[in-house]
Amino acid sequence: MCPAPVNNTDSRGFIIPIGGGEDREKEMQIHRKFVELSGGEDAFIVVIPTASQLESTGPDYNDIFRELGAGRVEYLPITNRADCDNPEFSAMIDEATGIFMTGGNQLRLSTILGGTLVAQKIRRQNAAGVPVAGTSAGASIMSEHMIAGGASNEAPAEDSVNLAPGMGLTNAVIIDQHFTQRNRLGRLLAASSYNPFLIGLGIDEDTAAFIRADNVFEVVGSGTVTVVDASELTHSSMWNAGSGEALSLLGLKMHVMGEGCRYDLTNHQAYPPREHAEFCSLSDLSDDE
């Protein structure tokens, strides 16, 4: 599934996968930047708490974004596929200047939203310039291919990761979350080996990748984003590995990127913070996109 097409007069909105466990009480750096990109006091942020089964999740995020100065915040209590046909919910997404998907279970999120009008509208709004953020499960579903589960704390193996269709806001990456905290490098390597075209993003807790319309992202938060680039893979044993057999993957490139680092997903190039002046800051971009 390719991202929704962009009109000639529009620029695609930011895609903001967050690794979960984000700071919700102190600096709230990630949420603050999302509110700014959504319009600040003029923002209308729609929260989709579907991945979570806790009734408090939607109201909690409403409070966070209001505290950070968003002009209007609403959450959509979508708990089944029939809810996705609610015309009131559709109208809110059409009006939104920012969309946020919470954490929980990514399979719950994909099986409820997948192929519905709500999912289509989220894709179209992002193509029209609206930033879409998601944390934990909400981050995983953003890519075309979604990591639905798999083993942590293990070497990459033939059956160490389970994939499912995602929302397709981007088809350039595959995303894993709670990355360092749950030691998920092995399953991200396995996921990347299925199709070396995809760049693997392993996102730590309280960390986000703010992906711009030009496919350059900046790391924001207290942790790191691990980039697995398999595009120059010289050998992979995935195609003939037996069940549970450890993989051989030769020629991989990996970057571990802290706050302020940038990565060009198109040209496969990493940049350190505060260098390479051709990449302007997020604040410089907020008015343009």
Residues designated as active site: 136, 154, 178
Any bridge partners for residue 150, and if so which?
A: 161
Q: What angle is formed at CA 9 by the lines to CA 31 and CA 46, rounded to 5 degrees?
A: 30
CA distance 132 to 50: 15
Cβ atoms < 10 Å from Cβ of 25: 7
- Pair of tokens at residue 53: 């089964």
Residue 1: which of 177, 176, 119 has the closest Cα? 119
SS3 category, 77: coil
**Which residues, including other chains, have CB under 8 Å from residue 63's CB and lie 6 or more apart?**
none
Q: How far apart are CA 226 and CA 191, in angstroms?
A: 14
Give the count of beta carbons closer than 10 Å to the beta carbon of residue 109. Answer: 29
* Helices 57-67 + 29-38 axis angle, to 10: 70
Alpha-carbon gap, residue 242 to 226, rounded angstroms: 27
Buried b / exposed e over 49-60, threshold 16 CB at 10 Å, is bbbbeeeebbeb
CA–CA distance, 68 with 104 (Å, rounded to integer): 23
